[in-house]
Amino acid sequence: MVHQFQNNGFNIVLDVNSGAVHVVDEICYDLIAEWERMPESADVPEGVHKEAVVDRVLERYREQGREIRREEILEGYEEIRELAEAGALFTKDDYETAVIDYTKRPTVVKALCLHIAHDCNLACRYCFAEEGEYHGGKRELMPLEVGKKALDFLIENSGNRKNLEVDFFGGEPLMNFEVVKELVRYGREREQEAGKKFRFTLTTNGVLLNEDVMEFANREMDNVVLSIDGRQEVHDRMRPFRGGQGSYEVILPKLLEMAKRREQAGKKYYVRGTYTRFNKDFAADVLHLNELGFREISVEPVVAPLSEPYALREEDLPELLEEYDRLAAEMAARAGTDRAFTFFHFMIDLEGGPCVYKRLSGCGSGTEYMAVTPSGELYPCHQFVGNPDFLLGDVWNGIQRQDVVTDFKGCNVYSREACRNCFARFYCSGGCAANSYNFTGKIRDVYEIGCALQKKRVECALMLKAAEAEAAEAAETAEETE
């Protein structure tokens, strides 16, 4: 299976099952499309296939009044054949049995999302956590003892795994900062005797960032996510304080300072925004964040019921897809300059990415990853918190709903009909179970708007790799001619 697309002046061919990515000229682009329509088979001798494919392409060029020599097309055909024989084009998906077997293995818990505060100082209109209260829950802060028990649960259920991830989440986790500090201290105490290494991370709206928090975060946090949506009018419309006033001017200087310190310390961070139907021109928000000085940026589509005026709708897709193209082209243009930036969903690792088992077996929610509420309840992930059907157990008694865990364990690319033949499946892993559940009532279906956006983001990511290769080649050539 191949996926062909044109983006920003590049003809790109992804051989889906091998992961090989090719930038081709127009002749090969057309030849590969023809080859897909007329695949080789044992019944058709090689020479006959070659003549048929080449003739069809040549005929089309003649109809278009273009003069392209047959020898050129034959040359392209031979290059394609060479790649096909090398296992880099027209490869088959032979992974299903191995991946299904893999998903049946015993799993360990790798990561916890600690809902350190079910409370928030902002009243963001699109928040799935509903100002931190999570679907009719109450405002509460996680007591230290619950947090300690959660870390104990993680250590005890992580098998031989050394690296354990704990994200301080909310609501707004800094509303319970003293407990955050105590839990990090407790985790560091337990690391030695348990033979584990905690990677702590923090997701914050920035309102309570101060000298004490920044110093602590730089020392202890492996990564920090800073929430900001982009331009002031966009941000303030969706992220007001509870009293209604915008939060942009309060948080911006704090986020800039935090980002600067993270960069100076060589530590990871990114700013994370949400775009809605109110700012379908979200590329302007990403570029605004870049111009403010942020270099690690993520701005993601809102996922909300269609009853909400800000929810994305199917008819918005053409505009949104174009916007991703626009953003990718600008990211390519800024690469290598002092305004270079990364965009979370355009980053792709073509040489060192994960194995097929990881790529096809889903995100790990409900099996390797769980969310813990302030009262110690366990849920498959932060987006299921508050839904009693997904309450797995608690940190004192462990998992009580093995049936739900088993259901999540079976989430993989092959269990979702829409994913089986999707070109993006090795880069998407089957999408988000929570989004699927919220839109279809099933965790093993897909959220179609999310799929369309993800496919476009994968295409943009591959285009950026092509642009990067082209720039490297140009630099090399320039060096040789000097």
Residues that bind other proteins (CB under 8 A): 17-25, 27-28, 75-76, 79-80, 82-83, 87-88, 91, 94-95, 98, 102, 105, 107-108, 110-111, 161, 163, 165, 300, 303, 344-345, 347-359, 363-365, 368-369, 381, 383, 426-429, 432, 435, 458, 461, 465-466, 469
CB 216 within 8 A of CB 209: no
Nearer to other proteins, 80 or 155 (CB): 80
CB 444 within 8 A of CB 411: yes
Alpha-carbon distances of 89 from 82, 84, 350, rounded to whole Å: 9, 4, 16
CA distance 368 to 428: 17
Inter-residue long-range contacts of 186-190, CB under 8 Å, 24+ positions, other chains counted:
186/147, 186/148, 186/151, 187/151, 190/151, 190/152, 190/155
Residue 97 beta carbon to other proteins: minimum distance, rounded to whole angstroms: 11
Nearest residue to 32 (alpha-carbon basis) of 51, 8, 14, 59: 14
Nearer to other proteins, 26 or 233 (CB): 26
Nearest residue to 17 (alpha-carbon basis) of 96, 81, 70: 96
Residue 29 beta carbon to other proteins: minimum distance, rounded to whole angstroms: 9
Residue 159 beta carbon to other proteins: minimum distance, rounded to whole angstroms: 9
Nearer to other proteins, 288 or 425 (CB): 425
Nearer to other proteins, 108 or 306 (CB): 108
Residue 426 beta carbon to other proteins: minimum distance, rounded to whole angstroms: 6
Three-class SS state of 239: coil
Nearer to other proteins, 208 or 399 (CB): 399
Residue 432 beta carbon to other proteins: minimum distance, rounded to whole angstroms: 6
Residue 80 beta carbon to other proteins: minimum distance, rounded to whole angstroms: 7
- CB burial readout 53-62, b (16+ within 10 A) else e: bbebbbeebe
**Bridge partners of residue 151, in order along the sequence:** none
Residue 466 beta carbon to other proteins: minimum distance, rounded to whole angstroms: 6
Nearer to other proteins, 205 or 383 (CB): 383
Give residue for tokens 């060192």.
Answer: 352
Neighbours of 394 (CB within 10 A): 19
Nearer to other proteins, 251 or 466 (CB): 466
Residue 383 beta carbon to other proteins: minimum distance, rounded to whole angstroms: 8
Neighbours of 279 (CB within 10 A): 24
Nearer to other proteins, 177 or 414 (CB): 414
The vertex-152 CA angle with 147 and 156, nearest 5°, equals 150
Nearer to other proteins, 89 or 179 (CB): 89
Alpha-carbon distances of 81 from 64, 69, 233, rounded to whole Å: 26, 19, 54
Query: DSSP per residue over 278-294, as a string?
Result: GGS-THHHHHHHHHHT-
Residue 85 beta carbon to other proteins: minimum distance, rounded to whole angstroms: 13
